[in-house]
Amino acid sequence: QAMEREVVAAFGKGEPDEIMSSAFKLRVTREDIHTLRNLHWLNDEVINFYMTLLVERNKKEGYPAVHAFSTFFYPKLISGGYRAVRRWTKGVDLFKQDLILVPIHLKVHWALVVIDVRKKTIKYFDSMAQRGDKICETLFRYLQEESQEKRNLELTFSEWTLRSVESHEIPQQLNGSDCGVFMCKYADYISRDKPITFTQNHMPYFRRKMVWEIIHQQLL
Mean pLDDT, residues 130-153: 96
* Averaged confidence pLDDT in the chain: 95
Q: What is the pLDDT of residue 137?
A: 97
Does the structure show a pLDDT above 90 at 220?
A: no
Answer whether 195's CB lies under 8 Å from 169's CB. no
Does the structure show a pLDDT above 90 at 1?
A: no
**The one-letter amino acid at 39:** L
- Say whether 168 is catalytic: no
- Say whether 126 is catalytic: yes
Is 183 within a domain? yes
- Say whether 109 is catalytic: yes
Burial class (CB within 10 angstroms; exposed 0-12, middle 13-18, buried 19+) of 107: exposed
Is 50 within a domain? yes
Does the structure show a pLDDT above 90 at 216?
A: yes
Mean pLDDT, residues 149-167: 95
| Given the residues 32, 116, 126, 178, the one annotated as active site | 126
Is 122 within a domain? yes
Is 19 within a domain? no
Q: What is the pLDDT of residue 143?
A: 97
Q: Quote the percentage of the chain above a pLDDT of 70.
A: 100
Is 115 within a domain? yes
- Alpha-carbon gap, residue 106 to 98, rounded angstroms: 26
The half-sphere exposure of 168 on its side-chain side, counting CA atoms within 13 A, is 0
Cα angle: 113, vertex 178, 170; to 5 degrees = 50
Is 128 within a domain? yes
Answer whether 163's CB lies under 8 Å from 137's CB. no
Burial class (CB within 10 angstroms; exposed 0-12, middle 13-18, buried 19+) of 196: middle
Q: What is the pLDDT of residues 79-122, one digit of tens each?
A: 999 999 999 999 999 999 999 999 999 888 999 999 999 999 99
Q: What is the pLDDT of residue 2?
A: 87
Q: What is the pLDDT of residue 120?
A: 97
Q: Helix H segments across the chain? A: 2-11, 30-33, 44-57, 73-85, 133-151, 179-190, 203-216
Helix-, strand-, coil-residue percentages of the chain, each rounded to 5: 45, 15, 40
Mean pLDDT, residues 174-190: 95
Q: What is the pLDDT of residue 108?
A: 85
Full residue range of the structural domain in which residue 69 is found = 44-198
Does the structure show a pLDDT above 90 at 48?
A: yes
The CATH number given to whatever domain includes residue 53 is 3.40.395.10
Answer whether 23's CB lies under 8 Å from 36's CB. no
Number of domains in the chain: 1
Is 139 within a domain? yes
Mean pLDDT, residues 50-72: 96
| Given the residues 32, 67, 116, 179, the one annotated as active site | 179
Is 5 within a domain? no
Q: Report the DSSP beta bridge partners of residue 27.
A: 22
Q: What is the pLDDT of residue 107?
A: 82
